[in-house]
Structure 1
């Protein structure tokens, strides 16, 4: 009996050692980084994280050309200035596709990118709208924040232009500012924006006076189109200091 027990123990140890050896892969150490550019070559203003858009990653080298092998996509998050970076990828060939943003759909075939070491990859998209400041955010005498913008609709051959939906004034007490990170009390709900507002001055004002002195507020305006994802195109971010 003792001999049988010893043999079982040796067998279990051998299995454990074999399993450890088979799972001993190097950790992913490749970096993919780049920018999302608009059709004029400017970085696209987005939100921090994946709330405004993301990049779909499909590792083609994993399937090695076998259509029966299912590849589960992974996704890259964005920085709010339209850049991205991730340093935990395995070496391989990937299909990369910007998706779910406030821009005309990127070609379904995406871009094939070989990731090895550190790779830079930019994408160019056509946003639904280009928004510019008319009056940058200012603090009024009664401690409200006011700003105004105008927008231009961008066309793309072969694609229908979505209708306008609404606009928002995003005010935040930290540098991350957008529909996913704002003080909802300072701007309640949304402001109706229509196609006819193109080229006109659209004014925004906080719903209440700002409360905190000695505070920097980060401010931007977003305007949304009525497409599938209903994401916002944005201005860049400005700051307002309350002394």
Structure 2
């Protein structure tokens, strides 16, 4: 009985010591933030779908730290100071990454020492231009243009164009109260595209919705989006 008591006491002391050691670790305090951009212009994406990965070699088991990209194209990550490799997961994002050379490919290297801002330049398949929203009579409409950015052997066709509306500022495939899709095959002129969608009965009642346009590219999972806009009804 005495031996069992001593073992329990020893285990409790070890747990307490480990807890104190854990509490004594310095917490990360440097923020790396920026935007995903094309020629300095932010690229809109779907909330919580696109992410950057940051790798810091030399700290035990190598594992990626994820930095989610918000729907406006911005990201941020709380990090320890040090050197990191920054990459996009394979096949993610409505864009192609830019390869600097054959050695590093599309990996970005960043040294963190205090807060830092870093925009990540990419090549989108398409950019949404001049979206103009209007509302009234329980309907939201939009006109827009599409610019095809990648035109070489890596070019992709449009699968569909979608107009999404929602009660809140989070507007996407997963969060909407109304959507209208137009197949890419029906688009005859990228400089003249229009869509409209009906607004359902909203509870509680509100005289506005939030809207944005999304473009689905063939064989690309993530869509490119226009900025979210508040539309009066």
TM-score category (smaller protein): 0.7 to 0.9
Q: In the TM superposition, what are the counterparts of 1:19-168 in structure 2 within 5 Å?
A: 19-24=18-23, 25-38=25-38, 40-49=39-48, 51=49, 53-62=50-59, 70-87=61-78, 89-99=79-89, 100-107=92-99, 108-133=105-130, 136-140=132-136, 142-155=137-150, 160-168=154-162
- Aligned counterparts of 1:9 and 1:48: Cα–Cα separation in 2: 49
- Indicate if the aligned counterparts of 2:32 and 2:77 stay in contact, CA closer than 8 A: yes
TM-score (ref. length: structure 1): 0.79
**Distance (Å, rounded) in 2 between the aligned partners of 1:162 and 1:198:** 16
Alignment partner, residue 219 of structure 1:
211
Question: Is the 8 Å Cα contact of residues 177 and 218 (structure 1) preserved in structure 2?
Answer: yes
Alignment correspondent of 2:166: 172
The residue that corresponds to 1:199 in the other structure is 190
Runs of 4+ in 1 over 6 A off after TM superposition: none
Q: Provide structure 2 residue ranges, at least 5 long, that are not aligned to the other structure.
A: 100-104
Change (3 A) 1:209 1:109: closer
CA offsets per residue over residues 155-211 of structure 1, 9 Å max, x none?
266x5101210011010111122223211xx225x32013963524122111x3443
Please say if residues 172 and 219 of structure 1, whose CA atoms lie closer than 8 Å, have aligned partners that are also in contact.
Answer: yes
Displacement of 1:112 in angstroms is 1.2
Q: Match of 1:15, SS?
A: helix
Which sections of structure 1, spanning at least 5 residues, go unmatched? 64-69
Pairwise CA distance, 1:236: 2.0
Task: Output one character per residue of 1:121-168: Cα deviation in whole Å (capped at 9) or x when no partner.
Answer: 11011111011236x22124x3221112221111266x5101210011
Aligned position for 2:102: none
Structure with more of its chain in strand, by fraction:
2
Aligned Cα root-mean-square deviation (Å): 2.7
Task: State the aligned residue count.
Answer: 223
